[in-house]
Structure 1
Amino acid sequence: MKNPILSLRWIVFPILFSTSVLLLISRKAGNLGFYSLLLTALISLALRSRHDGMGFKQFICKFWKLHLAMAGMMLAILLNQVISQDFAPRSFDYPSRMGLFVLIAWACLHCTAQMYRWLQWSYVIGALACIVKMYIITDGGTTRGDYVDFMPIIEFADMTLLMGFFSLVSIKYTPEAAGARGLLNLLKILAFIGSLYAAYISSTRGAWLAIPFLAAVAAVTMFDGFGRKKKALFALLAVVVIAVLFCLSPQVQNRIQAAQQDISTYSKDSGSDTSVGTRFGLWKTSFALFLDHPLIGIGRENFQPVLQALGREGKISPIIARQIHSHNEIFYNMATLGSFGLAGLLALYLVPGFYFARKLRSADKELQAVAAMGLMVCVGFVIFGLTDVTFMWGASDNFYVIFTAILFSHIYRREHELALRAS
């Protein structure tokens, strides 16, 4: 049984490394990475592989809360369609990525603790590649299109930012490479600063909103040698410094002023079709749909037809009637999947978030850093989802499930490694 595992680990690691680097760069990288890991997991099950004496059934039982939470959205869609008897198989496409987390994580567990330490460089390379791509597609911040190849620029900016923060906190376990640790850490810092620059030139307010929260997690993690009060102080200081630097920029000031003006216009005329006004109108309409269908919602496939019908009746503006989602993850899932959708989404955010947050208390620096990355994924997607429906895009679903699986598996492997050393 050792030989199959040995061979699979050298299949899984290249998949994880290349996917981490290319997921946001190439249209096919995310899907190829996901399905390659899925196929590897199925091969592993056929070979009856075990991880440290743990079989697949034991793996399911041991981490059942995490597996169930990751499958929450898929289950919500299933309940909606079973109860409404309105079946639309394509609605399962992206949510099934998270639903199959149990298999993706099982495949990831083939890698060793050392392999996961090597993966830190995929985060740095991936962040640098995304920065270059953002600079090219925005012409250095002079133009802003709605889409970046295969995803909206909003999602691209969001996930580029996460890659930069991954690079930053991975400083805690940079290897001692013949005295070159300082240079390697400098490269990571450049990747982080570059990701902030990429978020800046993207003019994506959702990404800007997430920066203080991600910075707070990073500060708490990086200054682990301090007491709680000092940690809180450094976290607050980091947030203030980054916020001030961004607010000093004319581009940021213009975007903030535009939002303030839109809010003012909406307060005087709720039918205004400004960017913010349209979002407020969508949120209001989505919540009304939830109140009309509180248990199962109206269904994913019915959202746009319902808006179009409301538009024809003159109940909402023509611009709102043309939208394909609510521009808010929570409101969209409440409207389309009702209470099941809300519960599924919150489970998807909170259960992995609590899992990673608990690991932050570890005394091991590597575990702290990896736990911080996992928490950043969860916190980041919560913030990103306030202004957009992030999980509507395949790249976002692939990012969430693959990186959650990578970081979960990294923690598992590191804890096992430490336990062996202690025994």
Structure 2
Amino acid sequence: MKNPILAFRWLVFLILFSSSSLLLIVRKVGNLGFYHLFLIALVSLIFHIEHGGTSFPVFVRKFWKFHLAMAGMFIAILLNQLISQDFDAHSLDLPSRMALFILVAWASLMCTAEMFKWFQWSYVLGALLATIKMYIITDGGTTRAAYVDFMPIIELADMTLLLGFFSLLSVKYESGTARVRWVGNAVKILASVGALYAAYISDTRGTWLAIPFLTAIAVIVLFDRFELKKKILVALLAVALLIGLFFLSPRVQNRIQAAQQDVTIYSKDTASDTSVGTRLGLWKTSIELFVEHPLIGVGRQNFRPTLQHLGQEGKISPVIARQIHSHNEIFYNMATLGSFGLIGLLALYFVPGVFFARKLRHKDKELQATAAMGLMLCTGYLIFGLTDVMFMWGASDNFYTIFMAILFTHVYQRERLLASSGASV
């Protein structure tokens, strides 16, 4: 039975647009967006609605590797709990966002090709609002709180940076008159510069680390008319310019010098409780836990009690014993979920990343730019995860799931549209 989906289509568009633009600004927007999309997907399945001529079984079979990879972390936690017989439903909550990606993406397919192009303005709006928020909560960059509003400042800086780069890449979405495009592109560039400024005043070194890599991807796509060698040269020059500008700032110099001093102190005293020293101690402890429990780890729910126990025994410092995660996504998954966690996390990064990277070869500018955004999402989370644990926070999990759904289905719909019109790859 085929059913019209016009009403659902606009509802899905409004949910995705509001979620992607307000997720970092308004509490619970990410959760509300996720659950509404989940319910819409269930309703469409009950009434056998085909989205854009694609049935759900075909959608599942065609992209089963992608869907399985998105569920990797959830599967790892489930395996840990089944093998250890130590069940904790709360640990499954946030990873279920990615595990149910298949339904969020299925609901997103209701949007038309033109609607997907309109999402560019949700990226711009989100970047601008998040920049304003960062300016307000840091008092213009003069103060820095570890936790602001409903997420840590680190995660806010990370995701704002991604929105800024999405805005920049969307200049490839050509539409409207020359004057409209000029004004639109100016706003998009403003949003991307604002996001860089937000990252700068956040004093978040992990966010700064991602900037060169995201810049390289952006340059390669924006200068698509250049030969590969010229693209690489321009990318290197752009990265060098940004790094140079950052290093000229006393603010950045102070943060880098502080990190260097912390490393020096830690090399002389591994019990030091400096910012970097604590991270290095956590990484060392996490690796040791993985070596002791290589298959399934100690379990998400047991990580902090394990650290507290080690602290009581005097094996780690009291500061390390109070931490709730490893300040490194990979080490945290290794310690808590063992080999299953490592495989699940890497699949979450690399399977979607490879999917999007392959699409960069397409000649269509809109598809190429969207694929680059998807690659940035995977790359950004991988780099952010080197110094923090992104998937421990609800906003971060919702961001990854919702934006992955938007970008994945945008690429899918665009490819189908081009194929039906006979456009070449």
For 1:376-403, what per-residue CA distance to the aligned partner results, in whole angstroms no more than 9, with x for missing partners?
0000000000000110000000000100
Tell me the secondary structure at the aligned position of residue 140 of structure 2.
coil
User: Distance between the aligned counterparts of 1:421 and 1:86, measured in 2?
Assistant: 54
2:3, 2:49 within 8 Å by CA — same for their partners in 1? no
Residues 40-189 of structure 1 mapped to structure 2, 5 A cutoff:
40-177=40-177, 179-189=179-189
For 1:223-268, what per-residue CA distance to the aligned partner results, in whole angstroms no more than 9, with x for missing partners?
0001110110111111101111111000000000000000011111
Partner of 1:350: 350
2:52, 2:109 within 8 Å by CA — same for their partners in 1? no
1:174, 1:184 within 8 Å by CA — same for their partners in 2? no
What is the Cα deviation at residue 351 of structure 1?
Answer: 0.2
What is the Cα deviation at residue 52 of structure 1?
Answer: 3.5
Deviates more, 1:172-181 or 1:136-145: 172-181
Partner of 1:340: 340
What is the Cα deviation at residue 176 of structure 1?
Answer: 2.1
User: Distance between the aligned counterparts of 1:295 and 1:178, measured in 2?
Assistant: 58
2:3, 2:47 within 8 Å by CA — same for their partners in 1? no
User: Distance between the aligned counterparts of 2:360 and 2:337, measured in 1?
Assistant: 33
Partner of 2:381: 381
Deviates more, 1:163-172 or 1:2-11: 2-11
User: Distance between the aligned counterparts of 2:170 and 2:54, measured in 1?
Assistant: 29
User: Distance between the aligned counterparts of 1:216 and 1:315, measured in 2?
Assistant: 42
Partner of 1:28: 28
1:304, 1:323 within 8 Å by CA — same for their partners in 2? yes
User: Distance between the aligned counterparts of 1:202 and 1:173, measured in 2?
Assistant: 30
Tell me the secondary structure at the aligned position of residue 176 of structure 2.
coil
User: Distance between the aligned counterparts of 1:67 and 1:252, measured in 2?
Assistant: 40
Partner of 2:395: 395
User: Distance between the aligned counterparts of 2:8 and 2:314, measured in 1?
Assistant: 59
User: Distance between the aligned counterparts of 1:417 and 1:267, measured in 2?
Assistant: 57
Structure 2: which 5+ runs fail to align? none
User: Distance between the aligned counterparts of 2:54 and 2:413, measured in 1?
Assistant: 13
What is the Cα deviation at residue 54 of structure 1?
Answer: 2.1
For 1:175-195, what per-residue CA distance to the aligned partner results, in whole angstroms no more than 9, with x for missing partners?
224622111101100000000
What is the Cα deviation at residue 3 of structure 1?
Answer: 5.0
1:4, 1:47 within 8 Å by CA — same for their partners in 2? no
% same residue: 70
What is the Cα deviation at residue 2 of structure 1?
Answer: 6.0
User: Structure 2 counterpart of 1:384, which letter?
Assistant: F
TM-score calculated relative to the size of structure 2: 0.98
Q: 1:39 to 1:351 in 2, by over 3 A?
A: same
Partner of 1:209: 209
User: Distance between the aligned counterparts of 1:12 and 1:33, measured in 2?
Assistant: 9
User: Distance between the aligned counterparts of 1:287 and 1:7, measured in 2?
Assistant: 51
User: Distance between the aligned counterparts of 1:392 and 1:90, measured in 2?
Assistant: 12
For 1:68-119, what per-residue CA distance to the aligned partner results, in whole angstroms no more than 9, with x for missing partners?
0000000000100000000111110000000000000000000000000111
What is the Cα deviation at residue 270 of structure 1?
Answer: 1.0
Partner of 2:275: 275
User: Structure 2 counterpart of 1:404, which letter?
Assistant: M
User: Distance between the aligned counterparts of 1:350 and 1:55, measured in 2?
Assistant: 26
User: Distance between the aligned counterparts of 1:4 and 1:262, measured in 2?
Assistant: 61
1:158, 1:384 within 8 Å by CA — same for their partners in 2? yes
User: Distance between the aligned counterparts of 1:146 and 1:130, measured in 2?
Assistant: 16
User: Distance between the aligned counterparts of 2:378 and 2:179, measured in 1?
Assistant: 35
User: Structure 1 counterpart of 2:365, which letter?
Assistant: K
User: Distance between the aligned counterparts of 1:69 and 1:419, measured in 2?
Assistant: 27
What is the Cα deviation at residue 271 of structure 1?
Answer: 1.0
User: Distance between the aligned counterparts of 2:177 and 2:168, measured in 1?
Assistant: 18
User: Structure 1 counterpart of 2:300, which letter?
Assistant: R
What is the Cα deviation at residue 422 of structure 1?
Answer: 1.2
User: Structure 2 counterpart of 1:266, which letter?
Assistant: Y
User: Structure 2 counterpart of 1:173, which letter?
Assistant: Y
1:370, 1:410 within 8 Å by CA — same for their partners in 2? yes
Partner of 1:232: 232
Partner of 1:413: 413
User: Structure 1 counterpart of 2:225, which letter?
Assistant: G
User: Distance between the aligned counterparts of 2:346 and 2:267, measured in 1?
Assistant: 30
Tell me the secondary structure at the aligned position of residue 179 of structure 1.
helix
What is the Cα deviation at residue 420 of structure 1?
Answer: 1.6
User: Structure 1 counterpart of 2:266, which letter?
Assistant: Y
Tell me the secondary structure at the aligned position of residue 5 of structure 2.
helix
User: Distance between the aligned counterparts of 2:186 and 2:53, measured in 1?
Assistant: 40
Please provide the CA RMSD for this pair. 1.0
2:297, 2:335 within 8 Å by CA — same for their partners in 1? yes
